[in-house]
Chain A
Amino acid sequence: MRVSKEALLIILAFIAPIIVELRTVLAWANIELTVLESVVLGLAIVALVLVWAFFPEDESSSETPERQLSNGD
């Protein structure tokens, strides 16, 4: 998990106002969503955040400098 459960809770809280007003903001760009579309979009954003949060960190990327070092040797 990339972040703690508590941090995830805070991130989701911060996203809430954005989701709530996203429909209004999109309307300024003449993109008019129905309630259902707004809910689906909101859930999709939450799902993306959850996937990002629960997806294991790429451990190989953190080891890259070490490998490069050893290759250099």
Chain B
Amino acid sequence: MTMSESGGTYIDNFPAEARVVRSALYSSFLALALGGLFGIIQTLHRTDIYRFIESDMYYTVLTAHGVFLVVTFTIFFLVGVFTWAVTTSLDRGVEDIRFTWLWYGLMTIGTVMAAAAILAGFTDSIDMSADVLFTFYAPLQAHWLFYLGLVVFVVGTWLAGADWFRSWWAWKQENPDERIPLPTFMVLTTMLMWYIATIGIAVSILVFLLPWSLGIIDSVNPTLTRTLFWFWGHPVVYFWLLPAYMMWYVMLPKISGGKLFSDPLARVVFILFLLLSTPVGIHHQYLDPGIAEGFKFIAMTNTMFLLLPSLLTAFTVVASMEHGARQRGGTGYFGWLKALPWRDPVFAGMALAGLMFAAGGFSGMINAGMNINYLVHNTLWVPGHFHLTVGTASALTFMAATYWLLPQLTGKALWNRSVALVQVVLWFLGMTFMSNSMHRAGLLGIPRRTAEPQYQGFEFEAGVGSVAELDFQLALGGALLAISIVLFLANVVGTAFNGRSDDLPANEFAETLSGPEDSPQVLDNLKLWTAIAVVLVILAYSFPLMSIVDRGGLYGPDISPFPVSIETLSLLAFTLEQYTTAAIATTGEFVQTTLTGVIR
């Protein structure tokens, strides 16, 4: 599908937007560099191979590693690639470029504030720190600047979403009978999920953590802040993943030489993520004593349903790749795999990322199961899992996508394709070593989030091999990943300083074998899916939250429940219940009417 009549590169068609997208990507890569640096420091320290920081500084390093990579790197990349996707697929620029720069500016200011609070933890001369890790719930407390920075950053992402919705509404006025183009549909559904998810973190920060860090309130209810964190903390996983999914759907089939197998299936997948991403966060709290088992069981059930969109994606993307390979002359049951463009770092990176994501999905099922989760909870298994998901499925896809996007955004050819191919393969190798050793160490019960995993007077025993070997594998993997990041950044810098090229492909994304015309119109009814998503969140969270507040108080035990009393909360609970019942009834009628219309 050609996105512009002129068929030029992105920068030819949208020069102003290209500058914003480029800035977002460069911000993302700066965060990658910083986060990667703290990653290798942490790896070498933890494995006791090379130590040059004190262990009491480990949490500062770990917080910087986590926040810079899973908040800054991923989300800056997301806003960049989503802006590219919306403008490309609607074939129109943003409505007001000053507004676009505004949200980018807010995100940057927020990042600087949070980063200042984190990095100040390295020196005693500044009375400020934020050693609270990426999972910044109580009882760990950060400086208020950290929380305020996060607020500004998230407001920036909200405005970015508003910018994309504004583009879509303007496009819709001119194209009232058209289906939403697939990349824009993916962006909008992802942002609707994000708006719902960030309610949890907004309440957590604005009502509890920020006033607490400013001394306005004396204490908080840790279980409540944990639950509100995970209200956001699980869907943010899909906020990292869905841009990668989008690239797998809209770029990978094209680079494979074929077409997307099914546009309707892709829409169903993104709707399922909108519906199911948020009402599952309690599966991160299986070992929290303040939440009843029944609520955890509901969260587990919802989580297992989330496997469905991932499996649908695996099917659709592999089918699209097979179609591409057969167009390129591939034959046989598996022989077509050889016909894929493995020399292309864009393809190789995305395909290897997808492969590792499959492994991450399997370990994710272990995490999600209430009973087997107890075996691996808070062990190194969990970082092993998410280094396959966000650390590879997202990060490696983003890096591979950069090799396609950067020339589009700069008008300059990629500096070195061979280095790019080596880089993506090194990432795969490094993550194989690191993640594998983390998973295995987790099975032995070796804990996560500690500088000193070797307990005194106790030896972890590996079933096969030894803990020292696992440590070596972990450090080797970390070192390969660090080299991979250096190669990636070298390619980015090299490309930025390259001369302009007239030999770049047009800014296009994949055509479809089965297009939107094959899907029911109801898939594009964003209001309906949002309403159902909200109802599911209310069902999953209202009673657990009320129970947590009832048990531990809104601001923790022994603290006056200001400004809400338990009595008013009971009234609120009753009112909420009434509204929920009414909303379910209304939604049910609406769905019935809509489905009847569709079936007719």
On A, residues with C-beta under 8 Å from B are 4, 6-7, 9-10, 13, 16-17, 20-21, 23-24, 27, 32, 35
Contact = CB atoms under 8 A, between A and B. Distances in A.
Given A6-B342, A27-B463, A20 B436 contact: yes
A6 B436 contact: no
Given A6-B342, A13-B352, 14 more contacts: A7-B338, A7-B342, A9-B422, A10-B425, A13-B429, A16-B428, A16-B432, A17-B432, A20-B432, A23-B464, A24-B440, A24-B464, A32-B464, A35-B469
A53 to B, nearest CB: 13
Interface of B: 338, 342-343, 348, 352, 421-422, 425, 428-429, 432-433, 436, 440, 463-465, 469, 473
A11 to B, nearest CB: 9
Contacts of B348: 6, 10
Determine which residue in A16, A17, A32 has the highest number of CB atoms from chain B within 10 A of its CB, and name it: A17
A13 B356 CA distance: 12
Contact of B433 (A9, A20, A24): A20
B343 A4 contact: yes
Contacts of A24: 440, 463-465
A23 to B, nearest CB: 6
Contacts of B428: 13, 16
Contact of B425 (A4, A9, A20, A35): A9
Contacts of A9: 421-422, 425
Contact of A35 (B429, B433, B463, B465): B465
A27 B464 contact: yes
Contacts of B436: 17, 20-21
Interface of B is mostly: helix
Contacts of A23: 464-465
A7 B429 contact: no
A27 B465 CA distance: 10
A64 to B, nearest CB: 20
Contacts of A17: 432, 436
24 contacts: A4-B343, A6-B342, A6-B343, A6-B421, A7-B338, A7-B343, A9-B422, A10-B348, A13-B428, A13-B429, A16-B429, A16-B432, A17-B436, A20-B433, A20-B436, A21-B436, A23-B464, A24-B440, A24-B463, A24-B464, A24-B465, A27-B464, A32-B464, A35-B469
Closest 8 CB pairs of A and B: A6-B343, A27-B464, A13-B425, A10-B342, A24-B464, A17-B432, A16-B432, A13-B428
A9 B421 CA distance: 9
B487 to A, nearest CB: 14
B362 to A, nearest CB: 13
B423 to A, nearest CB: 11
Contacts of B342: 6-7, 10
Contacts of A32: 464
A47 to B, nearest CB: 18
A39 B523 CA distance: 53
A4 B338 CA distance: 11
Nearest to A11: B342
A7 B348 CA distance: 10
Nearest to A4: B343
A33 to B, nearest CB: 9
A62 B352 CA distance: 33
A54 to B, nearest CB: 18
Nearest to B428: A13
A7 to B, nearest CB: 6
Contacts of A13: 352, 425, 428-429
B174 to A, nearest CB: 45
B459 to A, nearest CB: 18
A7 B421 CA distance: 10
A4 to B, nearest CB: 7
Contacts of B433: 16, 20
A45 to B, nearest CB: 15
Contacts of A21: 436
A17 B464 CA distance: 16
Nearest to A38: B465
Given A7-B342, A13-B429, A20 B473 contact: yes
A35 B436 CA distance: 16
